[in-house]
């Protein structure tokens, strides 16, 4: 009987072998790139990096030494260029509204006058045009999209940090849908409308958007400062924290790009005096600046709520987290930037009965934050998000692929890739990194994701 038993076992083992051979290998285990995983040819779009509140572009270094994307020790954008990616970083208004910043981005990409719109400038009683970027196009091929008779299409990808997140979304909206109000106002005035506002576009010009700690539903820090009349002090303190009190009197530390509001810095005027003048102006308390856009309460205002996701664009988001959640509150981690620590604790314990939207999220989602922005806000706008887990700190594309869903990212909604733990709002862009290269793998992975999307 013993030989029969052995034969029986051999049959069982052989059947098991056949089952293993017939079982398909998971896509993530066999793919070696995201393009292969998502079955696309990818794209070679240039990527536009849009800075956040009080930020600056790559055309200048703050005080001649400080990069927004990388700080004093590195230039993350140069690192990405070294990997073969085309990237640009326009300089947009550090205190301006997302609408104005989108207009400024478009002007710099296309090398055209900065046109804030006939309807918009009439409503807010400011000049229609800002800086003239003619002849200075950061992306000449993208600019060619808007020349009459253009046949080829050059799309872009966009990465936005902080306020750069909603700015990117506003720009993608205008590039997809235009603005009927602006078209009507131009027709009535008998003037030529900026291509940014054209409503007869047949497609979006943005393949992918990646928001890093984007303020898509505002920040309760702004609402708290408004309730306590602390906005002026916040702005001045944040300026001071970034450059140091001893440097604040240097001319042209920041280009606030407020000339269309009649708020240029005068020759010989100390920056502190100029900032005082800006903060005491009617513009500072108006509804066309960044502080209005950053309020949780204002997100339902038509000035902000009109923005829609473009159905042909894939959106991604990642939330920074530098707090620990326990017993219903979140407190700053020991590694959180000292300037951000009080704000991290404020968000982590904040409650406000006048903001009913807070009750639509769990306390953890609203109180976990990066020192300025809540996780619930960073995940995406009120329209919602889709969980799309990706290990953005993977050390190689192979590891990134292994962590990625096999399904292609959904277009027209935010694909939330998860939390960037131990990443406060300033750490995430490497602003105070003493050791260069600490953020490189995340940004390289962001570009891998965006360049793997179907053009």
CB 311, CB 412: distance < 8 Å: yes
- Quick one: 260 and 408 in the same domain? no
Please state whether beta strands 414-421 and 385-387 pair in parallel, antiparallel, or not at all (unpaired). Answer: parallel
Residue 367 lies in a domain: no
Residue 13 lies in a domain: no
- Quick one: 124 and 57 in the same domain? yes
- Quick one: 257 and 315 in the same domain? no
Domain count, the chain: 2
Separation CA 7–CA 21 (nearest Å):
21
- Quick one: 63 and 205 in the same domain? yes
- Quick one: 309 and 180 in the same domain? yes
- Quick one: 264 and 130 in the same domain? no
Which residue range is the domain that position 230 belongs to?
Answer: 224-280
The list of the chain residues with pLDDT below 50 reads 1-5, 7, 10-14, 16-27, 245, 251
CB 357, CB 231: distance < 8 Å: no
Residue 386 lies in a domain: yes
pLDDT at position 272: 82
Separation CA 48–CA 99 (nearest Å):
16
CB 162, CB 213: distance < 8 Å: yes
User: In a 10 Å sphere around its CB, with 0-12 CB exposed, 13-18 middle and 19+ buried, how is residue 214 labelled?
Assistant: buried
pLDDT at position 20: 39
CA-nearest of 112, 116, 105, 191 to 144 is 112
Phi and psi, residue 192, nearest 5° = -80, 135
CB 205, CB 153: distance < 8 Å: yes
- Quick one: 76 and 185 in the same domain? yes
pLDDT at position 249: 57
Residue 343 lies in a domain: no
- Quick one: 156 and 271 in the same domain? no
Q: From residue 151, how far is each of 142, 146, 268, 405, 414 by CA, in Å?
A: 12, 10, 49, 35, 30
pLDDT at position 236: 82
In sequence order, the 6+-apart residues with CB closer than 8 A to the CB of 109 are 48, 88, 90, 137, 138, 139, 142, 143, 156
- Quick one: 65 and 162 in the same domain? yes
- Quick one: 121 and 195 in the same domain? yes
**Stated pTM of the model:** 0.91
Separation CA 97–CA 167 (nearest Å):
8
Separation CA 284–CA 236 (nearest Å):
13
pLDDT at position 261: 97
- Quick one: 139 and 273 in the same domain? no
The alpha carbon of 50 is separated from its chain's Cα centroid by a whole number of angstroms, namely: 7
CATH code at position 127: 3.40.50.1820
Phi and psi, residue 275, nearest 5° = -65, -40
Residue 447 has which token pair?
């570009």
Residue 7 lies in a domain: no
CB 348, CB 366: distance < 8 Å: no
Q: What is the SS3 assignment for 312?
A: coil
pLDDT at position 255: 84
Residue 125 lies in a domain: yes
Residue 139 lies in a domain: yes
- Quick one: 209 and 230 in the same domain? no
Q: How many residues does the chain have?
A: 455
User: In a 10 Å sphere around its CB, with 0-12 CB exposed, 13-18 middle and 19+ buried, how is residue 400 labelled?
Assistant: buried
User: In a 10 Å sphere around its CB, with 0-12 CB exposed, 13-18 middle and 19+ buried, how is residue 200 labelled?
Assistant: exposed
Residue 369 lies in a domain: no
């Amino acid at each position: 009987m013993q030989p029969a038993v052995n034969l029986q076992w051999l049959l069982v083992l052989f059947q098991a072998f056949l089952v293993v051979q017939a079982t398909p290998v998971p896509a993530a285990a066999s793919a070696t790139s995201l393009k292969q995983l998502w079955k696309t040819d990818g794209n070679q779009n240039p990527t536009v990096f849009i800075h956040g509140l009080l930020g600056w572009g790559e055309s200048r270094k703050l005080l001649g030494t400080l990069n927004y994307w990388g700080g004093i020790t590195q230039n993350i954008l140069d690192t990405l260029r070294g990997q073969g990616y085309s990237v640009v970083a326009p300089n947009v208004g550090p205190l301006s509204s997302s609408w104005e910043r989108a207009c400024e981005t478009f002007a710099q990409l296309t090398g055209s006058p900065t046109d804030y719109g006939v309807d918009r400038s009439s409503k807010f009683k400011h000049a229609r045009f800002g800086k003239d970027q003619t002849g200075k196009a950061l992306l000449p091929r993208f600019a060619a999209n808007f020349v009459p008779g253009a046949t080829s299409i050059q799309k872009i990808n966009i990465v936005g940090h902080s306020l750069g997140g909603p700015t990117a979304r506003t720009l993608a909206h205008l590039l997809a849908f235009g603005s009927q109000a602006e078209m009507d106002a131009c027709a009535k005035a008998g003037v030529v409308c900026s291509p940014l506002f054209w409503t007869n576009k047949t497609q979006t010009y943005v393949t992918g958007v990646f928001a890093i700690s984007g303020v898509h539903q505002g920040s309760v820090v702004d609402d708290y400062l408004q309730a306590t009349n602390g906005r002026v002090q916040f702005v001045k303190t944040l300026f001071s924290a970034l450059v140091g009190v001893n440097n604040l009197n240097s001319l042209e530390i920041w280009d606030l790009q407020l000339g269309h509001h009649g708020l240029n810095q005068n020759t010989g005027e100390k920056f502190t005096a100029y900032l005082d003048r800006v903060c005491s102006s009617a513009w500072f308390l108006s509804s066309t600046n960044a502080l209005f856009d950053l309020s949780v309460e204002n997100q339902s205002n038509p000035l902000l709520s009109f923005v829609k996701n473009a159905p042909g664009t894939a959106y991604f988001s990642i939330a920074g987290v530098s707090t620990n959640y326990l017993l219903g509150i979140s407190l700053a981690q020991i590694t959180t930037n000292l300037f951000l620590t009080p704000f991290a604790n404020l968000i982590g314990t904040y409650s406000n009965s006048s903001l009913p939207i807070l009750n639509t999220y769990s306390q953890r989602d609203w109180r976990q934050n990066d020192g300025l922005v809540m996780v619930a806000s960073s995940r995406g706008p009120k329209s919602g998000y889709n969980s799309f887990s990706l290990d953005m700190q993977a050390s190689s594309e192979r590891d990134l692929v292994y962590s990625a869903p096999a399904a292609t990212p959904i277009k027209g909604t935010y694909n939330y890739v998860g939390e960037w733990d131990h990443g406060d709002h300033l750490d995430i862009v490497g602003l105070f990194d003493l050791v260069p290269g600490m953020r490189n793998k995340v940004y390289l992975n962001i570009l891998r994701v965006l360049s793997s999307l179907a053009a």
